[in-house]
Structure 1
Amino acid sequence: MKYSKFNFYTIFYRFKNTVLFSLLLTLGCQAQDQSQNTSKLLTGADQTEQYINELKESKIAVVANQTSVIRSSHQTYTHLVDSLLALNIEVKKVFAPEHGFRGKADAGEKVDDDVDTKTGLPIISLYGQHKKPTDKDLNGIDKVVFDIQDVGVRFYTYISTLHYVMEACAEQNIPLIVLDRPNPNRHYIDGPVLEKQHSSFVGIHPVPIVYGLTIGEYAQMINGEQWLKNNIKCELKIVTLKHYNTQKNYKLLIKPSPNLPNALAVNLYPSLCFFEGTNVNAGRGTSTPFQVFGSPFLDQKKYSFQYVPESNLGSKYPKYQGKVCYGMDLTKHQFLSEIHLGWLIKAYQNTSNQDQFFNSFFTKLAGTTRLQNQIEKGLNNSEIKATWQNELNDFKKLKKQYHLY
């Protein structure tokens, strides 16, 4: 697309201070980028033309957080909510997942309803006791847009939020538009499949810990497998990714939550999050969460690395705050293509209070009682993983019917 010099400068000086201009500039940069590099990945949100017409003359609710952005070629962003408002879409409210709309709350921290200071929109928290939008929340809403960056791990709670949003929309006959985003852990599938009796907000569906689907594909699986209450189905539209190479790792441009600050943390998270269900600190309260781990109870002779967790923006009250923890520094570790159980097994074998190593949260994370029992019996990494293979093979066959890429 070409513009005359007159038209460009007329547009620039007339609209340079408006939100709309910022959006137009962002979209213009994207168009230029596509013509120069057709391999550039575009998220669902980036492709405004694929969903904007469906939102016109409708009252909209948006499920979003800090990752819900439209990207320009210069690594600048327009938040989805801001862009919709600039395009005169009638956004009525925002639903926020764990960590809140701006992504600053600690894991597990209660997030209250609020008002967004920038837009004046009401923000309704979908975390804590209020995990599912109520009939009142959706009263007067014509369509819901879901745009949150997931990391492809069962105990990462955004897919549970997706489940409850789909269920609420299905009950109210409200269409849901999911703006798809890439899965940074799509390159492998691993972990025990969750057993129904251990279902919780950190594991709501019978899938492995690492399941290899984008959040759009996952939404299709929720519908297809009839996992919503009473086997109801949600009316879904998935705005798919463009130029998505599933064979390449995708580095997230915005951290999806306070304690996943970089690509390595996202990659190690499926392996190190098990420590959240033990007496070991998984790096919360440090500058390298989910890249180090340690505990005052680990054998100092076996673990030379040490650190002291302190309160910070990502963790106000970290486990063992102010105490020396002995463990491992994994900040230089190579990227994984499997769940690494060795760190968990070795920690259990070298703790001074083995009887108190596991807590009740561990079974929720694992989705089964088997894993704790296997570690306590002394099984090694290979022996444990061998017991997962049949269910993993079944899941791999199941998931193929929901692939979009």
Structure 2
Amino acid sequence: MRSFLLLVCCIAFSSAAFSCSAQTKEIQTGASQLATGPGSSPVELASKQTGLVVNQSSVVGNTHLVELLLQQGLQVKKIFSPEHGFRGTADAGAKVENSIDPQTGLAVFSLYGKDKKPPAEALEGINLLIFDLQDVGVRYYTYLSTLHYVMEAAAEQNIPLLVLDRPNPNGAYVDGPVLDKNYQSFVGLHPIPLLHGMTLGELALMIKGEGWINKAEQLKLYVLPVKNYQRDMPYELPVRPSPNLPNAQAVALYPSLGFFEATPLSIGRGTDFPFQVLGYTNPPLGKFAFSPVPKVGAALHPPLKNQLVLGLDLREVKAGGLDLSYLIQAQAVFATHQLTLFNAPDFMDKLSGSSKLRQQLEQGWTEPQIRQSWQSELMKFRQQRQPYLLYPDHH
């Protein structure tokens, strides 16, 4: 059923917003349009008791969205924060407790602690939710799962949801295995490819339209799209979306290196170049030497902590999309030494969306063979996502 209520609003404003040297026109995120005043919103804001789903990436220039809306006199009542917390300083996977934000005095309800979904009592008195998080376009990045549960809670409590859209820095790619619903988890809830090539605004429309949440037809969903944006544009994030994605290279390598979270290898957590290296102690994966150490706000317990790691320095490689060569190389080295690469096989299967990729790697499949195995599902997904796309593909 694709007959659903939604309002997609895209209004021209000439406000200051993020710039990117590769573009002739200035990209304006949904948040930057909202910053020009409530009149740019597709839903009336002035009378609403608002809850914001935000973190450190929810900024317009150097100003946080929370401050901008408070300056406009809007009634911001509560903040809901995803993995890594409201200010983005919690370690990956670390539970985040509810708190009070010292700068604004607002209550912060954690969606990465006891609750992943806002319970009814946390939404009491709120009659509008605004979602503004910077995603990186990879299925296992958990902000998409937070969006899913916020949408479901909004539908169940009959609260309108406004998604302020942001570019997808990996938006040019649709690639990787499509998730099998038997492997749903917080690192993958939807039957979409690892690289889906969509923004969170587009995915919100798809989640509702495909009925992937409870009471989807009841949700009043509004999306404020990015202006002057095409999905294949290079877009360097103005703020790191999470502690261990510090730059464009890390974001570009993330789809390929994220799988190594299910192995004993280091991908640079606890260094100054997370998600830009790959290595192990014995057997070594290369000659580049580094030693992970605890880093407050990024990696308190990094894999191979305080050990000499030898591997690959990927800071200067041309990165983009999904590169399976790192997994294939590591699997070959470990197999030669009669070692198991995937020491957390269940987690690997959740990350990849089924057991197929892990089994293909263990059986020695080549990259072309593995890629061929998911082509028909990718073709179906491209057709399925078509009604929900807000941005053109080509310059």
Question: TM-score, normalised to structure 2's length?
Answer: 0.90
Q: Distance in 2 between matches of 1:246 and 1:238?
A: 16
> Which has the higher relative contact order, 1 or 2, with Cα contacts under 8 A spaced 6 or more apart?
2
Q: Distance in 2 between matches of 1:392 and 1:29?
A: 38
1:250 equivalent among 225, 235, 239 = 235
In structure 1, the residue corresponding to 2:226 is in which secondary structure?
A: coil
2:220 equivalent among 235, 246, 251 = 235
Q: Does structure 2 conserve the Cα–Cα contact (< 8 Å) formed by 1:223 and 1:233? A: no
Change (3 A) 1:53 1:401: closer
Q: Does structure 1 conserve the Cα–Cα contact (< 8 Å) formed by 2:158 and 2:218? A: no
Please state if 1:326 is matched with 2:310.
yes
Q: Distance in 1 between matches of 2:257 and 2:312?
A: 11
Residue 297 of structure 1, CA deviation:
3.1
In structure 2, the residue corresponding to 1:192 is in which secondary structure?
A: strand
Which stretch of the first structure deviates more once superposed, 176-185 or 327-336?
327-336
Q: Distance in 1 between matches of 2:354 and 2:380?
A: 17
Q: Distance in 1 between matches of 2:355 and 2:114?
A: 26
Q: Distance in 1 between matches of 2:152 and 2:221?
A: 11
Please state if 1:122 is matched with 2:107.
yes
1:404 equivalent among 357, 381, 390 = 390
Residue 304 of structure 1, CA deviation:
1.3
Change (3 A) 1:40 1:130: same
2:151 equivalent among 161, 166, 169 = 166
Partner residue in 2 for 1:7 = none
In structure 2, the residue corresponding to 1:92 is in which secondary structure?
A: strand
Q: Distance in 1 between matches of 2:155 and 2:148?
A: 11
Residue 52 of structure 1, CA deviation:
8.5
1:5-404 alignment runs, 5 A limit: 30=16, 39-48=25-34, 49-51=39-41, 54-71=44-61, 77-229=62-214, 231-298=216-283, 300=284, 303-313=286-296, 314-336=298-320, 338-351=321-334, 352=337, 354-355=339-340, 357-359=342-344, 360-404=346-390
Change (3 A) 1:169 1:275: same
Structure 2, unaligned stretches of length 5 or more?
A: 1-12
C-alpha distance after superposition, 1:296-322 (max 9, x if no partner): 133x3x511221110113101101101
C-alpha distance after superposition, 1:136-165 (max 9, x if no partner): 011110100000000010000000000000
C-alpha distance after superposition, 1:175-195 (max 9, x if no partner): 000000000000111110000
In structure 1, the residue corresponding to 2:201 is in which secondary structure?
A: helix
Residue 53 of structure 1, CA deviation:
6.8
In structure 2, the residue corresponding to 1:112 is in which secondary structure?
A: coil
Structure number, greater radius of gyration: 1
Q: Which amino acid aligns with 1:64?
A: V
Q: Does structure 2 conserve the Cα–Cα contact (< 8 Å) formed by 1:174 and 1:235? A: yes
Question: TM-score, normalised to structure 1's length?
Answer: 0.87
In structure 2, the residue corresponding to 1:218 is in which secondary structure?
A: helix
The alignment yields a C-alpha RMSD, in angstroms, of 1.8
C-alpha distance after superposition, 1:308-353 (max 9, x if no partner): 11011310110110111121110001132x3111111111111245
Q: Does structure 2 conserve the Cα–Cα contact (< 8 Å) formed by 1:167 and 1:232? A: no
Q: Which amino acid aligns with 1:333?
A: V
Q: Does structure 1 conserve the Cα–Cα contact (< 8 Å) formed by 2:51 and 2:130? A: yes
C-alpha distance after superposition, 1:17-66 (max 9, x if no partner): xxxxxxxxxx99629x9xxx971000000012412871101100000000
**Percent of aligned pairs with the same amino acid:** 46
Q: Distance in 2 between matches of 1:311 and 1:297?
A: 21
Would you identify which runs of 4 or more consecutive aligned residues in structure 1 move more than 3 Å?
230-233
Change (3 A) 1:247 1:356: closer
Residue 230 of structure 1, CA deviation:
5.3
In structure 2, the residue corresponding to 1:267 is in which secondary structure?
A: helix
Change (3 A) 1:311 1:334: same
Q: Distance in 1 between matches of 2:252 and 2:282?
A: 26
